Amino acid sequence: MSLTELRPAARQPAPPPPPGQAKHWLYRFDTKTIPYIFISPFFILFAIFGVFPLIFNGIVALRNWRLDDPTLTGWAGFANFSRLLSDEDFWNALGNTFGIFILSTVPQLLIALIIANLLNRKLRGNTYWRIGILLPYLTPVVASTLVFAIFFARDNGLANWFLSLVGFGQEAPLDWRAQKWSAWIAIAAMVNWKWIGYNALLYLSAMQAIPRDVYEAAAVDGASPWRQLWKITVPMIQPVVVFTVILSTIGGLQLFNEPMMFDENPQSADGGSAHQFQTIAQLIYKVGWKDLDLGYAAAMSWALFLIILIVAGINTLLTKRIGGDR
Amino acid sequence: MTTTVANRAPQDTRGSWLTYLGLGIALLFSAFPVYWMFVIATSTDEAVAAFPPALLPGGEFLANVREVFTLNEVYFAASLINSVLVSSVITVATLFFCSLAGFAFAKLRFKGRNGLMVVVILTLTVPNQLGIVALYIVMGKLGWNGTLLAVIAPSLVSAFGVFYMRQFIAHAVPDELVEAARIDGALTLRVYWNIVLPAIRPALAVLGLLTFVMAWNEFQWPLIQLNGTDFPTSMVALSDLASGNYVIYRRVLAGAFLATVPLIVLLLIGGRQIVRGIMEGAVKS
C-alpha cells in the first residue's frame, strides 16, 4: 500500500478535487488508508489472540514449561510427544472422546434431518416451531448438564424410573456414571439434545433452496414422502450435510462442558472415578491447569488438532460417498 | 406417513397430523430439561428426593434463590453482573469491528481486498480452543491472567461476524447511495455512520443476539481464567456451586435457572432473528 499513489477507484467517480492542500491530503487519506484502518481491528485482534497462540502452541509443545516451576525451562525436543504415546490417560481419553462422538453425531444428524423434513411443510405458526426447537441451543450447557446429571442419577433419577417401568434395573438401579458405555450414552444424549434443533435449521434452510421442479420431475415415480426425503431431498442438500458433519467433528472431538459438569465433582476434571468419560479436552485442561504442565498440555493440543484434521477429512469423504450413491 | 402420489415439493405440502405430532414430540424433548430445571429450582429437598420425581413446580423458588445469593464463596450475584458485563462488551465490540470490516470488504476499494477476505474465510475454520495453552501464556505476558480482560479480549472480533456483515452490506447498501454521499464530500467514516449503520440494523440484531448467547455460555476459557477469583462469570460460579462433597440439587438448579433466564428472555424477544441468523449463515457457508 502506498499513500502517494492516487489511482481513482474503478467504479466510483472521483469527487471534484477539493481546493487546498489540507483537503487534498484528507481525501487521499480517506480513500487510501481508511479501508485498512477499518479492517485492522479484526486482523490485529485475531492475530494476537487467534493465530499467534495456535503457532506459539507448537513451540510450547517442544519446551519444558511448568507453571509451578519457572526454573524448569529449555527445549524438550519431542519428549512431550513421545510421552503421549505411552500415556494411558491419553489413550483412554481418546477412546472416550471417539465413543461419545459417534454416539452423539450419528443420531444427532439423522434426527435433525427428520425434524427438518417435518418443518419443511406448510405449517401453522412455522416460526414458533423453529424458535421452540432452538431452546436447547441457547441453554447454557453448564446449566442443562446439571439437569441431565439429576435425570441420570442412580437413586431417584428419571432415566432409571423409565427403565424400571419397562422392567429393567429392579434389583439394582443402574449407576450411569460407573461404566463407560452408560456414561457415554448419558453424555451423548446431552450433546444430541443441544444440537439437533440447530442442525435441523441448517438442513431446513438448505431444503427450502431446492428448486420445486426437482420434486415435480420425480413425482412420476409416485415417491412417498419418506422415499422423497432419502432419494431427492438428502442428495440435494449434500453440501450442507458435509458442512454439519465437519462442524460436529470439530465440536465433538473438543467436547469439554458436558463431561466436566456430569462429574460428581465438576471442577476435578477427572471424568469419573476411573476416568470412564474423561475427554481429551478435559485431559488438556487437567494436565495444564491442575498438573501445571503447560508443555505437555500444548503437545496434547497439537495431537488433538491433528486428529481433528484427519477425522474431519475422513468424514467428509465418507459423507460425500454416501450422498453420491443415493 | 401417507403414500399418496407426491407431485408437489414438500414445502408446498400441508403438514398432516403426523407432522404436528412429530414436531410436538420434538418440542417436548427440547423444552423438558429447561422446564424440569425450573421444577427442581422451586422444590424442597424432600420433593427432589421423591421417587418417582416430582414433575410440578413447588413454591420454594424465592427461598432457593435467596440461598444461592447468600452463599459466601460462590459470588453468584456478582457472577451474573460479570456475565452481563463480559457478554455486553463482547457483543458491542463484535458488532462495531465486524460491521466496520464488513463495510470495507463490501463497498470500499483497496489493494489486497480479495486476498484478505479469503484469509477471513479461512480463519472461520480454525478451532481456537486448541491454542488455549499458548493463549494463557500470552495473557501472562500481558499481565492479564485472572482478570475479566483476559476473558473478553479473545472474543472481541469474530471471522463469522465479518463474513456475515460483508454479505449483508453488499446487498443492503446500494452503491449509488455510497457514491452520492462521497460526491457530497462525506468522509468514509460518515458514510459508515449515517448510511451503512442505519441500513444494517436487522443484521446487527441477528449477529448481536448470536454473539451475546455464545459469550454468555462460554465455559472453558473463563474457568481457566476466573476459577477461584471473587469475580467469576455465571458459568464458572455455577460449576463452583455444583462442586464439593455435598451438593444440594434445588440450590444448584436454582442457580442454573437464574443463569438460563436471560437467554430465555432473549429467545422470546429475538427468536425470529436468531432463527434467521442461523438459517442465513447456513446458506452462505
| Three-state helix/strand/coil letters over chain B | CCCCCCCCCHHHCECCHHHHHHHHHHHHHHHHHHHHHHHHHCCCHHHHHCCCCCCCCCCCHHHHHHHHHHCCCCCHHHHHHHHHHHHHHHHHHHHHHHHHHHHHHHHCCCCCHHHHHHHHHHHCCCCHHHHHHHHHHHHHHHCCCCCHHHHHHHHCCCHHHHHHHHHHHHHHCCHHHHHHHHHCCCCHHHHHHHHHHHHCHHHHHHHHHHHHHHHHHCCHHHHHHHCCCCCCCHHHHHHHHCCCCCCCHHHHHHHHHHHHHHHHHHHHHHHHHHHHHHHHHHHHC
Report CA dihedral (B182, B184, B190, B195) to the nearest 10 degrees: -80
What are the phi and psi torsion angles at A66 (to 5°)? -115, 140
Measure CB to CB from residue B278 to each of A120, A198, A298 and give the nearest one: A198
What are the phi and psi torsion angles at B5 (to 5°)? -65, 125
Distance CA A131, CA B275 (A): 7
- Contact criterion met (CB below 8 Å) for A278 and A271: yes
- The residue whose grid cell reads 403426523 is B18
Distance CA A199, CA A207 (A): 12
- Contact criterion met (CB below 8 Å) for B58 and B254: no
B223-244 pLDDT tens trace: 999 998 999 999 999 999 988 7
Residues of chain B with C-beta less than 8 angstroms from the C-beta of A173:
none
The answer to whether A36 faces chain B, any CB pair under 8 Å, is yes
Report CA dihedral (A63, A69, A70, A72) to the nearest 10 degrees: -40
Contacts of A325 (CB under 8 A, 6+ apart): none
- Contact criterion met (CB below 8 Å) for A62 and A78: yes
SS3 of residue A63 by DSSP: strand
Measure CB to CB from residue A121 to each of B10, B137, B252 and give the nearest one: B10
The pTM for the full model equals 0.90
Q: A38 and B6: CB-CB below 8 Å?
A: no
Q: B37 and A144: CB-CB below 8 Å?
A: yes
Residues facing A122 on adjacent strands:
B14
Q: A288 and B133: CB-CB below 8 Å?
A: yes
- A224, exposed or middle or buried, with CB in 10 Å at 0-12, 13-18, 19+? middle
- The residue whose grid cell reads 408446498 is B12
Extract the residue ranges of chain B whose pLDDT is less than 50.
1-4, 6, 283-285
C-alpha cell at A153: 442419577
> B60-283: what CATH class?
mainly alpha
What are the phi and psi torsion angles at B187 (to 5°)? -75, 160
How confident is the model at residue A6, as a pLDDT? 40
Residues of chain B with C-beta less than 8 angstroms from the C-beta of A130:
271, 275
Residue pLDDT tens, chain A, 326 long: 333 334 444 455 555 555 567 778 888 888 889 999 999 999 999 999 988 999 999 999 998 888 888 777 788 788 889 999 999 999 999 999 999 999 999 999 999 999 999 999 989 988 999 999 999 999 999 999 999 998 998 887 888 888 888 877 667 888 999 999 999 999 999 999 999 999 999 999 999 988 888 887 776 566 677 788 888 889 889 989 998 998 899 899 999 999 999 998 888 889 988 999 999 999 999 999 999 999 999 999 999 999 999 998 998 888 887 655 44
Distance CA B57, CA A113 (A): 34
Distance CA B200, CA B50 (A): 53
How confident is the model at residue A5, as a pLDDT? 39
Kindly give the residue spans of alpha helices, DSSP state H, lying in A208-279.
Answer: 212-218, 225-228, 234-236, 238-253, 257-262
The answer to whether A31 faces chain B, any CB pair under 8 Å, is yes
The number of angstroms, rounded, from the C-alpha of B23 to the middle of its chain's C-alpha atoms is 25
Per-residue burial over A138-168, b = 16 or more CB atoms within 10 Å of its CB, e = otherwise:
bbbbbbbbbbbbbbbbeeebbbbeeeeeeee
Residues of chain A with C-beta less than 8 angstroms from the C-beta of B160:
none
Residues of chain A with C-beta less than 8 angstroms from the C-beta of B36:
147, 150-151, 158
Nearest CA to B281 among B199, B204, B167? B167
Q: A216 and B11: CB-CB below 8 Å?
A: no
How confident is the model at residue A1, as a pLDDT? 37
SS3 of residue A66 by DSSP: strand
C-alpha cell at A226: 419418506
Beta carbons within 10 angstroms of residue A306's beta carbon: 11
Q: A122 and B31: CB-CB below 8 Å?
A: no
DSSP 3-state percent helix, strand, coil across chain A (nearest 5): 70, 0, 30
- Contact criterion met (CB below 8 Å) for A141 and A194: yes
Residues 115-144, chain A: which have Cβ within 8 Å of B?
115, 117-124, 127, 129-136, 138-144
